[in-house]
Amino acid sequence: MPLLKNNQFVNDEWTRVADADALPEGAKIIVNSARLIQDWDLLAKYTGLLGVSIANNERAEILTPYLSQLSLIVLNFPAYTDGRAYSQAKDLRLDGYRGELRAEGNLLLDQFQFMHQVGFDSFAVNERFALQQWQAASKQMSLAYQRGLFRISGEREVWSQRHQGFAPWEEQPHAG
Amino acid sequence: MYRYDEFDHQFVSERTAQFRDQANRRMSGELTEDEFRPLRLMNGLYLQLHAYMLRVAIPYGTLSGKQMRQLAYIADKYDRGYGHFTTRQNIQYNWIKLEETADILQALADVEMHAIQTSGNCIRNVTTDHWAGAAADELLDPRPIGELIRQWSSLHPEFSFLPRKFKFAITGAPHDRAAVKVHDIGLRAHKNDKGETGWEVMVGGGQGRTPMIAVTVREFLPEKEVIPYMEAIMRVYNLFGRRDNKYKARIKILMHELGAEKFKAEVEAEYARHPVQTTEVEQRELTRIEKYFAQPSFEKMSRFAPHFENAKRENVDFTRWAKNNLATHQVDGYTIVNISLKPEGGIPGDASGEQMRVMATLAERYSFDEMRVSHAQNIVLPHVKLEDTFAIWQVLKANDLAAANYGLIGDIIACPGLDYCALATARSIPIAQAISRKFADVKKQEEYGPVKLNISGCINACGHHHVGHIGILGLDKKGEEFYQITLGGSSSENASIGTILGPGFAAHEVPDAIETILNTYVKLREPGEEFLGAYRRLGPKPFKEALYATA
């Protein structure tokens, strides 16, 4: 499954570590939220980079105490019609998380720009669509009415444009 | 009324181009029907029993002559010469071809209209009081905040894949004509001691299988906080609304299962978790929008309109229409004209292309180029001089638009039912037509006074039967259509859900049953007492007895 980041396919350097497995030294690992919380004393001293995956029925707030030490958070779309991870992503970004935020699951072209706008910046996509289709899908609309978007596709916020001189809702640096 | 600026224009044309691409991908087979479905739904395109149905958004029901002409053009060119005005103040076309849909959307974009989010599990077209800006009892015009919400909710990245559809209704008047208590979110304007505007926020109302009256979660939300507070409600719903069962997925079920206090606490916690840094831009945007809704330049006139009074003396049909279909305006000498789309034996809410053009011309000539679609499926000319009403009535009469039954038993709300709809379990239109014929005599209708009769062809309740003073629900029992009657519903500020009277009726028995109910009311009413008031005093018992006495 290709990993899409900054509109390019890249190698996925992250390893998923199952609950019972030992932690590989100095790697980039993804654990689930239960293990993160349970083994925090150990994981806080981990020598590599730490990522976590949460289910879409978990509250993003459970990660709040750990955010500064996380380099990757993986959110899931079990079906493209299940939009919970959009709110989880937005919550995490509003909470100040600036690391990589990855979408995985049933990802289709037509929701791709929405995902960027709420703060996702990497995508575990399937092989059905070519790179240029993803690239085009990331900027189908050049405008958005909402403010406080996690701007990465370069669309303009209509209200901020109309009323210039005001800072955007939040200054958010590009991540990833 | 609101006009698009360069941004709105660009937004809608990009969206149209995007849909054209999606439709092409579907027609080439690149997209499966399953994948295309949510995309076409986000653009108002349904696949119905016989054809595609396109639902066009008419934000807060307001429309200009030019826009109405374009709707007529679409009806004539792409449909069978008519359109159907809906209970969401929208218009639907029932005979649409997929390959022509992008062209229709372009024709809409040309007159600053679209079909974005008229279906799908997203925030739907915002509705308001159809007398907004004209009603005598109004505190303020609800449309500017409606337009603000329309923009904010358009392709909202976070809230486009909700558990279920989501509907806003807004009223700026104490007498609620927008049914705000039976919407997912209802907003009602209030003013405080300092003269500042605030909005009462009501959440979790709805109809469908589980009708519920909304709960007030904030009594007075400062106007500048409306958008961020709506975001908090939507986020709580998006995260915690049920997704395991589509019949339990609306926000009313979340409200019900959590309990009102827990729900409020969740929303307030979410709202407090991410304090908004500034709402300056939202306030400026609202101020910008408000300018578009400034009152038209009304003439200073006397309350007494001699031509109008003369015409009434000379023409009894006009008098009757004027009495039933005109409503009090904020400004002396002006009135609100309600054009009933419920002619005797007609299909509620249907209008032909020609009728649409006639109404467009009347609006341009007599009503500052403005019309409204009401949720009761009628058309309103909001700002008309009393002196012009006779001329208007003559034109309406010549075009089968002069039914004098506004607000009476003939002014029926009905969904398309099994004649069109893939979800329906029974037909609604023929029932509406039969009742309309039964009570064709307007004099008889007047004797019954104000009555709201609403018909749905299935339990999804698009015909609002739960909140009809008299509600009719069409069901299917072993292949036979039968109709359940409810009494005592209301969508006004004293909202209530109707009570089922007893066993259902066959289609041909329904008009007589309605007559029995109305005659029972006439027999038992106190002087001046309207149907709903009498029912609330008497309860269902006498009506049940009358209906089922011989059964």
In sequence order, the β-bridge partners of residue B411 are: none
For the segment B11-31, the average pLDDT, to the nearest whole number, is: 92
Chain centroid to CA B113: 17
Same domain, B225 and B285: yes
State the pLDDT at residue A39.
94
State the pLDDT at residue B69.
98
Q: B369, B398, B427: which is the final residue of a domain?
A: B398
Per-residue pLDDT band at B338 (split at 50, 70, 90): very high
Gap from B36 CA to chain A (nearest CA, Å): 10
Mean pLDDT score across all residues of chain B: 95
State the pLDDT at residue A176.
31
Same domain, B91 and B180: no
Q: What is the extent of the structural domain holding B530?
A: 413-548
Contacts of A62 in chain B (CB under 8 A): none
In a domain, B434, yes or no: yes
Q: Is B33 on the interface with A (CB under 8 A)?
A: no
Number of separate helices (H) and strands (E) present in chain A: 6, 10
Residues above pLDDT 70, as percent of chain B: 99
Per-residue pLDDT band at B42 (split at 50, 70, 90): confident
Model pLDDT for residues A130-143, shown as the tens digit of each residue: 999 999 999 889 99
State the pLDDT at residue A170.
45
Per-residue pLDDT band at A169 (split at 50, 70, 90): very low
Contacts of B151 in chain A (CB under 8 A): 145, 158-159
Q: Is A34 on the interface with B (CB under 8 A)?
A: no
Which among B321, B323, B363 is positioned nearest to B71, based on CA atoms? B363
Model pLDDT for residues B518-531, shown as the tens digit of each residue: 999 999 999 999 99
Q: Mutate one of B3, B243, B254 to test the A interface: name it (highest A CB count within 10 A).
A: B243
Choose among B18, B238, B273: nearest Cβ to A83: B238
Same domain, B322 and B274: no
Per-residue pLDDT at A171 exceeds 90? no
Same domain, B31 and B87: yes
Q: Which residues of A156-168 are buried (b: 16+ CB within 10 A; e: fewer)?
A: ebbbbeebeeeeb
In a domain, B300, yes or no: no
Choose among B14, B154, B162: nearest Cβ to A142: B14
Lowest mean pLDDT among B44-53, B199-208, B448-457: B44-53
Q: How far apart are CA B372 and CA B384, in angstroms?
A: 13
Q: Is B238 on the interface with A (CB under 8 A)?
A: yes
Same domain, B391 and B428: no
For the segment B423-446, the average pLDDT, to the nearest whole number, is: 95
- The reply to whether residue B239 touches residue A59, judged by beta carbons under 8 angstroms, is yes
Same domain, B106 and B65: yes
Q: How many domains does chain B have?
A: 4
Mean pLDDT score across all residues of chain A: 90
A68, with CB counted inside 10 A (0-12, 13-18, 19+), is exposed
Choose among A82, A118, A146: nearest Cβ to B152: A146
Lowest mean pLDDT among B13-17, B272-276, B320-324, B492-496: B272-276
Same domain, B525 and B452: yes
Choose among A59, A143, A146: nearest Cβ to B7: A143
Nearest chain B residue (CA) to A90: B158
Which among B530, B532, B447, B443 is positioned nearest to B487, based on CA atoms? B532
Per-residue pLDDT at A126 exceeds 90? no
Per-residue pLDDT band at A174 (split at 50, 70, 90): very low
Model pLDDT for residues B88-134, shown as the tens digit of each residue: 999 999 999 999 999 999 999 999 999 999 999 999 999 999 999 99
Same domain, B472 and B348: no
Q: B398, B426, B450: which is the final residue of a domain?
A: B398
Per-residue pLDDT at B159 exceeds 60? yes
Gap from B18 CA to chain A (nearest CA, Å): 7
The three-state DSSP-derived secondary structure of B16-70 is HHHHHHHHHHHHHCCCCHHHHHHHHHHCCEEECCCCEEEEEECHHHEECHHHHHH
In a domain, B223, yes or no: yes
For the segment B385-400, the average pLDDT, to the nearest whole number, is: 98
In a domain, B128, yes or no: no
Q: What is the CATH number for B323?
A: 3.90.480.20
Task: For residue B324, give both structure tokens.
Answer: 């039933």
Residue tagged 């009657």 (tokens): B485
Which among A118, A106, A109, A158 is positioned nearest to A138, based on CA atoms? A109
Contacts of B280 in chain A (CB under 8 A): 163, 166
- The reply to whether residue A140 touches residue B274, judged by beta carbons under 8 angstroms, is no
Contacts of A170 in chain B (CB under 8 A): 277
Q: Is B152 on the interface with A (CB under 8 A)?
A: yes
Per-residue pLDDT at A168 exceeds 90? no
Which among B431, B428, B406, B418 is positioned nearest to B342, based on CA atoms? B406
Same domain, B283 and B349: no
Q: Which residues of B257-280 are buried (b: 16+ CB within 10 A; e: fewer)?
A: ebeeeebbebbeebbeebebeebe
Which among B424, B506, B485 is positioned nearest to B458, based on CA atoms? B424
Q: Phi and psi at residue B489, in whole multiples of 5°?
A: -80, 160
Contacts of B282 in chain A (CB under 8 A): 159
Q: What is the CATH number for B506?
A: 3.30.413.10
Choose among B22, B151, B278: nearest Cβ to A145: B151
Per-residue pLDDT at A165 exceeds 80? no
State the pLDDT at residue B550.
60
For the segment A104-110, the average pLDDT, to the nearest whole number, is: 91
State the pLDDT at residue A152.
66
For the segment B471-477, the average pLDDT, to the nearest whole number, is: 95
In a domain, B388, yes or no: yes
Chain centroid to CA B294: 23
Residue type, B3: R
Q: At what angle do helices B280-292 and B143-153 cross, to 10 degrees?
A: 120
How would you classify the pairing of strands B127-128 and B499-500? unpaired
Q: Is A114 on the interface with B (CB under 8 A)?
A: yes
- The reply to whether residue B18 touches residue A140, judged by beta carbons under 8 angstroms, is yes
Choose among B151, B160, B278: nearest Cβ to A83: B160
Domains detected in chain A: 3-140 (3.20.20.70)
State the pLDDT at residue B71.
98
In a domain, B322, yes or no: yes
Same domain, B376 and B421: no
Contacts of A143 in chain B (CB under 8 A): 7, 10-11, 14
Same domain, B386 and B504: no
Kindly state the helix (H) or strand (E) to which residue A31 belongs, with its residue range.
strand A28-32
Residue tagged 């709402």 (tokens): B279
Kindly state the helix (H) or strand (E) to which residue B98 belongs, with its residue range.
helix B98-110
Residue tagged 């992503």 (tokens): A89
Q: B291, B324, B342: which is the final residue of a domain?
A: B291
For the segment B345-350, the average pLDDT, to the nearest whole number, is: 95
State the pLDDT at residue A166.
58
CA dihedral B488, B492, B496, B499 (to 10 degrees): 30
For the segment B229-250, the average pLDDT, to the nearest whole number, is: 96
For the segment B322-348, the average pLDDT, to the nearest whole number, is: 97
Same domain, B161 and B258: yes
In a domain, B406, yes or no: no
In a domain, B516, yes or no: yes
Model pLDDT for residues B256-302, shown as the tens digit of each residue: 999 999 999 999 999 999 887 778 899 999 999 999 999 999 999 99
Of residues B397 and A148, more confidence is placed in: B397
Q: Phi and psi at residue B70, in whole multiples of 5°?
A: -70, -35
